[in-house]
Amino acid sequence: MRDIEIIGTGLLGFGAVFFFLGILMLLDRALLIMSNILILMGVLVLMKPKGFIGFVIQTERIQGSIAFFAGITLVLLKLPLPGIICEITGAYWLFGGFIPLLISLIVKIPFFSRIFPFLSKQKDDGIL
């Protein structure tokens, strides 16, 4: 892994931690805003700005992009619960196509394949 990929992954990881803490701390707006900033920075670092913009404005992903950025706007406007719902929905619409790839990568890691044996069974049965 190159240094820039490690930085991008770290930013995404910290963003996920702040997002979880923001929800855990009863929708703390400051933590949620920090998580949004870190997640966006992490994705920008990993995908490069030109690739990120090209990914976000694809016609089949525009609905997810609008929902995700509307969620960020709602969090900034002091409406954290609807903002989180919009963000999660938008993130699923944007990155939902990557879930089978993510599961296949998790199955290949020995530690996770022991923890989640049902994933490898579904993959063998042709479900995923």
Assigned domain for 111 exists: no
Residue 7, token pair as written in the block: 């930085």
Residue 89 has pLDDT above 90, yes or no: yes
Contacts of 73 (CB under 8 A, 6+ apart): 83
Answer whether residue 38 is part of any domain. yes
Is the dihedral angle over the CA atoms 59, 61, 63, 66 positive or is it negative?
A: negative
Overall size of the chain counted in residues: 128
- pTM equals 0.78
92 within a domain of the structure (yes/no): yes
Residue 86 lies in a domain: yes
What span, in angstroms and rounded, lies between the C-alpha atoms of 36 and 31?
A: 9
Tens-digit pLDDT profile for residues 40-77: 999 999 999 999 999 999 999 999 999 999 999 999 99
108-126 pLDDT, tens digit per residue, is 777 777 777 776 665 545 5
For 95, how many CA atoms within 13 A lie in the half-sphere containing its CB? Answer: 10
* pLDDT (0 to 100) of residue 118: 72
